């Protein structure tokens, strides 16, 4: 089969924040093990091509899907934003990684980007918070969706974003949720909501399919914000790995055929 062309857009989302480079190394191992993806790592650090060369050569038009994990690093000028908007609205898929949700947030002093908010669907804005990193259960709410077929609920160690916002009211479908325990208080003093919160959401932007991945928290060092936050613990459960890899096929093709039997059983 012809491999699916995925462009992994990688940058330091928040300086000193989420360990996006370690996440990328693990995610790339999963995609390579699946055997159906041709991944181009776009990064101004170690990668296949820098962003300047990527834009100058027009490589963005080659993608069938994007993994977006670079907010606030690039796509801060309208010319770059429009290139991604046009690619996704024209039919390329868009997968938003955990940690990018607060990006392009005017109230935090960032330049707004409406297209990003529409592609993401759910984003971190004024009302959003999370409890501490720790253990909780994931419930599959759309078992009939191709990404979720055959999967059951599972336990994980991660963080749950609470009360995320959909600023433009874009249509979406929640595939999985996690219970946000109100008894769990973060190091910032924020409590959980005491209700189920979305952690896997699909939508669309023009002709492009979108997947919003709320799970997958990895911090570069231990801060006291929950034991294990500075490890790949959030990426250990096989169902989460399966969801990620299947989502990459689904956003590109609208189907889950070649990754339906992917086990996720590899060492990250």
- Tens of pLDDT, residue by residue over 128-186, are 988 889 999 999 999 999 999 999 999 999 999 999 999 999 999 999 999 988 887 77
Rounded average pLDDT over 228-245: 97
Rg of the chain over all Cα atoms, to the nearest angstrom: 17
User: Average model confidence (pLDDT) for the chain?
Assistant: 94
CA distance 123 to 102: 6
37-65 burial, b at 16+ Cβ within 10 Å, e below that, comes to bebbbbbbeebebebeebbeeebbeebbb
Instruction: Give 262's contacts (C-beta < 8 A, 6+ positions apart).
Output: 33, 34, 241, 242, 245, 246
pLDDT of residue 246: 98
C-alpha dihedral sign at 233, 239, 240, 245: positive
Instruction: Give 206's contacts (C-beta < 8 A, 6+ positions apart).
Output: 88, 89, 90, 91
CA distance 129 to 218: 17
The model's pLDDT over 7-24, given as tens digits with 9 standing for 90+, comes to 999 997 666 689 999 999
Q: What angle do CA 18, 22, 28 make, to 5 degrees?
A: 125
pLDDT of residue 210: 98
Does this model's pTM top 0.85? My answer is yes
Domains of the chain, first to last: 4-124+199-253 (3.40.50.880)
Does the pLDDT value for residue 234 go beyond 80? yes
Q: Count H helices and E strands in the chain, helices first.
A: 5, 11
Does the pLDDT value for residue 191 go beyond 90? no
Label the pairing between strands 129-130 and 65-69: unpaired
Does the pLDDT value for residue 107 go beyond 80? yes
pLDDT of residue 132: 86
Does the pLDDT value for residue 187 go beyond 90? no
State the burial class of residue 253 (Cβ atoms within 10 Å of its Cβ: 0-12, 13-18, 19+). middle
Of 174, 175, 193, 173, give the one whose Cα is nearest residue 183. 193
CA distance 194 to 178: 10
CA distance 203 to 210: 5
pLDDT of residue 16: 63
């Amino acid at each position: 089969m012809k491999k699916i062309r995925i462009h992994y857009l990688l940058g330091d989302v928040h300086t000193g924040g989420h360990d996006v480079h370690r996440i990328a190394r693990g995610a790339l191992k999963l995609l390579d093990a699946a055997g159906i993806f041709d991944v181009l790592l776009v990064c101004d650090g170690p990668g296949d091509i820098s962003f300047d060369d990527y834009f100058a050569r027009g490589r963005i038009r080659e993608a069938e899907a994007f993994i977006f994990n670079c907010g606030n690093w690039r796509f801060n000028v309208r010319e770059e934003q429009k290139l991604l908007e046009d690619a996704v609205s024209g039919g390329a898929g868009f997968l938003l990684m955990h940690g990018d949700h607060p990006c392009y947030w005017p109230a935090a002093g960032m330049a707004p980007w409406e297209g990003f908010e529409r592609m993401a669907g759910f984003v971190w804005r004024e009302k959003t918070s999370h409890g501490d990193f720790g253990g909780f259960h994931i419930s599959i709410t759309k078992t009939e969706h191709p990404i979720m077929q055959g999967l059951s609920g599972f336990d994980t160690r991660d963080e749950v974003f609470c009360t995320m916002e959909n600023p433009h009211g874009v249509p979406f479908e929640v595939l999985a949720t996690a219970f946000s325990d109100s008894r769990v208080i973060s190091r910032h003093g924020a409590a959980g909501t005491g209700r189920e919160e979305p952690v896997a959401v699909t939508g669309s932007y023009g002709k492009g399919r979108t997947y919003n991945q709320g799970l997958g928290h990895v911090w570069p060092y231990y801060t006291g914000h929950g034991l294990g936050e500075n490890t790949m613990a959030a990426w250990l459960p096989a169902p989460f790995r399966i969801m990620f890899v299947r989502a990459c096929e689904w956003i590109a093709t609208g189907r889950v055929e070649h990754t339906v039997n992917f086990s996720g059983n590899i060492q990250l």
